[in-house]
Structure 1
Amino acid sequence: MAPTKTSKVSSASKSSIQKHPASGIGAPSQLAQSSRKGKKAWRKNIDIHPVEQGLESLRSEERVIGSTLQKQTNDQLFVVDTKGDDKVRKSLPRYSKAELTATKILSQRSAIPAVFSRPTKDSVPSRSKVSRADKERLLRIAKRPRKGPFNAVMDHTEFGAGSALIDVSAAVKHSGSYDPWTAEKIEEVADGLEHTKKPNIKRPELSHPRDVIDVPAVLEPHQGSSYNPPAAAHDELIMEACKVERRRQEEADRLAEIRRKVADARALVADETEGLPLGMTLDEIPADDGEPVTQEDAVVPKKASVRKTKQQRAKALRLREEKQALAEKAARKKMLATIPLAKSLRSTAEKIGQRQNEARLARQLALKMKLRKGLAGQRLGKYKVPENDIEVQIGEDLSENLRTLKPEGNLFRDRFRSMQQRALIEPRVPVLPTKRAKLKEFEKHAWKRFE
């Protein structure tokens, strides 16, 4: 009998679990569940029947009116009738039991236009015609034969005639038309929702060095760099080149001296730590290690701290308060003494401020005058702006005529340095690759066999 009772209980529990009927619009609904232990079962078995009813009511309003009642204004929903109309009853449809339900549905005209099976002129917009340029571009991409003048077929492999990569992209066509500092026009949509507006960014007014620099793109060469220069101009240019070379040599000697000192220090440290592990140093043994300890060198033991009594602590507190009061009295006396000197102190402060302002303006003027000559020799960022090389020949190398003249310098390097000195491009140095691909040598199989 035990199995029979169990089967009755299980059948009764199954009969008590009844599934919710399907919704009115045909969507399945599964609300019955055997357990609520997990959140997954909660999400799966949720009754959305009221939500579906509300959405269906909104759809019915859109079908009849054209939009929901919430979006209609008061003038569209309500009318104050002060006159009345006797023909309203005649215009209302008559109730008839014999009228079919389909007829009632068809009699209710919807505000939403009907969907036609075939496209009409009003429903489908006219197709935009493909321009000649777009048609040629598509033919080039598809590599279709295109006819040119005299009905001749053009070769799509010809340079500029068939390659799709010849055309510029849309980004290149519209380049330069976007200005990030112009205020964008934001169109407000009257849908009752809140829209975030982008803040108008104010263009920063910052001075640029190139606005101050007054250096021509091509500098006029010195008179002494000519193939047949005057003696005075040639000697002057040689002295300038000598000064520059001497300065470079002094800088190279200074760096070499610094490297030599660093190498000597490293060698000294290596000699001291020879035979010891890396990072370990050996302490020096004092000279008087074996001598006996005298009475003077003996360590004097410290006195044990004695706890102060209540009277001693009160006395110390009273002395500290007296010192603080005397200090405040002296500060107050000093402040009162400076009151009559307020006018003189104010005039002194104004003079110091005026002097500092004049010094600041003088520094700015000197910097501006220095910038007018360009950025040659100044550090801008990580690197230093290079200076122009002095191109001069000694008297033995000077040519007597233009036929035997040897060209010097590099026009590309001159233009590149000129743009750096005029703050058109940032200073850079050539970066060479540190790691190079190693060449692997091997002997071909044909050369391994010797007969």
Structure 2
Amino acid sequence: MAPTKTSKVSPASKSSIRKNAAPGVGAPSQLAQSSRKGKKAWRKNIDIQPVEQGLESLRSEERVIGSTLQKQTDDQLFVVDTKGDDRVRKSLPRYSKAELTSTKILSQRSAIPAVFSRPTKDSASSRSKVSRADKERLLRIAKRPRKGPFNAVMDHTEFGAGSALIDVSAAVKHSGSYDPWIAEEMEELADGLEHTKKPKIKRPDLSHPRDVIEVPAVLEPHQGSSYNPPAAAHDELIMEACKVERRRQEEADRLAEIRRKVADARALVTNVTEGLPLGMTLDEIPLDDGEPVVQEDAIVPKKPSARKTKQQRAKAVRLREEKQALAEKAARKKMLATIFLVKSLRSTVEKVSQQQNQARLARQLALKMKLRKGLAGQRLGKYKVPENEIEVQIGEDLSENLRTLKPEGNLFRDRFRSMQQRALIEPRVPVLPTRRAKLKEFEKHAWKRFE
């Protein structure tokens, strides 16, 4: 028999063949193996520790600097220091034995931004989001339950809510995007023909009254309108209400007087005698036997017009020319006299213009100060902005406790009037519906014949 050769494995080689040897960084891996007869074993037992060390060094550079050193330019890496920095010592961290290791680790902040679990603006913009309209349209197509106001499930069979074919029009989608004050760019024709250009519309620079009004939305009530007010404040509020009521009564009396005068004028127009002025009547002269005598108008004969001679017509022309020449001479003399008064007239015109300008500014300032208090009592358009009602009770109706207090006024009316006074909405009056067609009542046949 031929002798067989046996190979002895040294202890050092045994120690080099280690399974599941954990490298310094990363997951555990096998560094060596006795057999490499398959590709699977080759991939599994490849030593990538140098690659992991290189990647870890790049990660440490990114944590400290923000990027790798290879991507940095020379100006960012090197600098020629010609003058020492005195603040270097202050910026360096102080050594302390009492500082914990965990505190040191936490103090080394990374230059790479942290990763948040919630999506940020940058991350949300990168991925495409489904709009609300598309989401509702897809839910309508799938007939999935959709939540409406107060978490109520909307019925997909409702007209306009569940039908997938019904959608908002293009006008609604593009509403609010058109600005009439933006000048549209003219498109040139391909054939080079002349065409008219639309005139540019200049936007008017007008101030709105609401920019000047300084009235708060909710006014602070007067002290005298309390359920238990002081005597002086209560008397003051009663006097204000009395003035308002007296002014209303005077206005009503004035309108009644105007109506009475109009009615009297109409009555006079109906009793008009022909040939006499308005309002004059003709008295009848009674005779002895009581019969009236009617006076007839006397006929005045007209004087015949005599025809002028040639000399008379020439004399009239000559007199007219002399009068015209005298008038022109007087006007020329007056004009020559005013030449010496040019300086005084100029100063007078400047003073008058300054006075007019000051009066105009004063009127504008007065109007602005009036607008600060709101539009109460002013006519805006067709109707007049209503004023605030003074709510006050007389001494007999006052309640001394909250139990017997009776509420007054209307909060909705107060808010509506406040919006009108602050020029948020236009003044309006309630319009009641008028029934033009009369109701026709009839009795049914079943009700006519009853037994």
Percent identity over the alignment is: 92
Moved more, 68-77 or 425-434: 68-77
Please say if residues 419 and 425 of structure 1, whose CA atoms lie closer than 8 Å, have aligned partners that are also in contact: yes
Deviates more, 1:106-115 or 1:421-430: 106-115
Q: Equivalents in 2 of 1:240, 1:91: separation in Å?
A: 73
**1:20 and 1:32 in contact (8 A); partners too:** no
In the TM superposition, what is the alpha-carbon distance from 1:436 to its structure 2 partner?
4.2
Aligned position for 1:135: 135
For structure 1, which segment, 237-246 or 333-342, has the greater mean C-alpha deviation from structure 2 after superposition? 333-342
Cα offset for 1:249? 1.5
**Aligned with 1:322: secondary structure?**
helix
Q: Distance in 2 between matches of 1:13 and 1:298?
A: 165
In the alignment, what sits opposite 1:167? Answer: 167
CA shift, 1:4, in A, is: 144
C-alpha separation in 2, matches of 1:204 and 1:378: 24
Give the distance between the partners of 2:158 and 2:205, measured in 1 at CA: 51
Contact 2:18 2:30 in 1 (8 A): no
Distance 2:104 2:201 in 1: 60
2: CA distance, partners of 1:277 / 1:151: 82
- Structural RMSD (CA): 28.9
Q: Distance in 2 between matches of 1:346 and 1:298?
A: 64
Q: Which runs of 5+ in 2 are unaligned?
A: none
Deviations 1:110-147 (A, max 9, x none): 99999999999999999999999669748958989999
Deviates more, 1:218-227 or 1:293-302: 293-302
1:74 to 1:194, Cα distance in 2 relative to 1, 3 A: farther
Q: Distance in 1 between matches of 2:36 and 2:331?
A: 79
User: Residues 267 and 321 (structure 1 numbering): CA distance in 2 closer, same or farther, change over 3 Å?
Assistant: closer
Name which of structure 1's ranges 373-382 and 441-450 shifts more when overlaid on structure 2: 441-450
Partner SS state of residue 62, structure 1: helix
| 1:6–1:366 Cα change, 3 Å | farther
The SS at the match of 2:239 is helix
Shift of 1:240: 0.6
> For the Cα contact (< 8 Å) 1:36–1:42, is it kept in 2?
yes
Q: 2 CA distance for matches of 1:13 and 1:318? A: 154
1:365 is aligned to: 365
Q: Indicate the larger mover: 43-52 or 270-279.
A: 43-52
Does the 8 A contact of 2:64 with 2:111 survive in 1? yes
Equivalents in 2 of 1:244, 1:420: separation in Å?
A: 20
- Change beyond 3 A, Cα 1:146–1:243: closer
Farther-moved stretch of structure 1 (393-402 vs 5-14): 5-14
Stretch deviating more after TM superposition (354-363 or 164-173): 164-173
Deviations 1:401-436 (A, max 9, x none): 223322211121111111111112221112223434
Q: What's the offset of the Cα at 1:307?
A: 2.3
Q: For the structure 1 residues 127 and 229, does the alpha-carbon distance in structure 2 shift closer, same or farther, using more than 3 Å as the test?
A: closer
Question: How much has 1:310 moved relative to structure 2?
Answer: 2.1
Aligned-partner SS, 1:353: helix
Where structure 1 has 5 or more consecutive residues not aligned to the other structure, the ranges are none
Aligned residues: 451
Deviation (angstroms), 1:399? 2.2
Deviation at 1:315, TM superposition (A): 2.0
Three-state SS of the structure 2 residue aligned to 1:420 is helix
396-405 vs 65-74, greater mean Cα deviation: 65-74
Bigger Rg, structure 1 or 2: 2
Residues in 1 aligned to 2:37 and 2:232: alpha-carbon distance in whole angstroms: 104
SS at match of 1:215: coil
Note if contact 1:215-1:372 (Cα within 8 Å) is conserved in structure 2.
Answer: yes
Give the CA deviation at 1:100.
Answer: 100
Change (3 A) 1:48 1:363: farther
What is the alpha-carbon distance in structure 2 between the residues aligned to residue 212 and residue 119 of structure 1?
44
Q: 1:333 to 1:159 in 2, by over 3 A?
A: closer
Normalising by structure 1, we get a TM-score of 0.58
Task: Tell me whether 359-368 or 432-441 shows the greater mean CA deviation.
Answer: 432-441
Shift of 1:183: 2.4
What pairs with 1:334-373 in structure 2 (closer than 5 Å)? Answer: 334-373=334-373
When structure 1 is superposed on structure 2, of 177-186 and 201-210 the one drifting more is 177-186
CA deviation digits over 1:191-233, x for unaligned, max 9?
4344544333221111222222111111111111122222211
2:180 and 2:301 mapped to 1: Cα distance? 78
- Quote the offset at 1:389 in angstroms: 0.6
Residue 442, structure 1, aligned to residue 447, structure 2: no
Between the aligned partners of 2:314 and 2:55, the Cα distance in structure 1 is 85
**Change in CA separation of 1:188 and 1:291 when aligned onto 2, cut-off 3 Å:** same
Are residues 258 and 181 of structure 1, via their aligned partners in 2, closer, same or farther at CA, if it must alter by over 3 Å? same
Contact 1:215 1:374 in 2 (8 A): yes
Distance 1:185 1:22, change over 3 A: farther
Q: Supply the distance in 1 between the matched residues of 2:91 and 2:223 (Cα, whole angstroms).
A: 108
- The answer to which structure, 1 or 2, has the higher relative contact order (CA under 8 A, 6+ apart) is 1
Q: 1:393 to 1:193 in 2, by over 3 A?
A: same
Deviates more, 1:282-291 or 1:416-425: 282-291
Question: 1:374 touches 1:422 (CA, 8 Å); kept in 2?
Answer: yes
CA 1:402–1:206: 2 relative to 1, 3 Å: same
Residues 450 and 221 (structure 1), Cα distance of their counterparts in 2 relative to 1, 3 Å cut: same
CA 85–213 in structure 1, closer or farther in 2 if over 3 Å, else same: closer
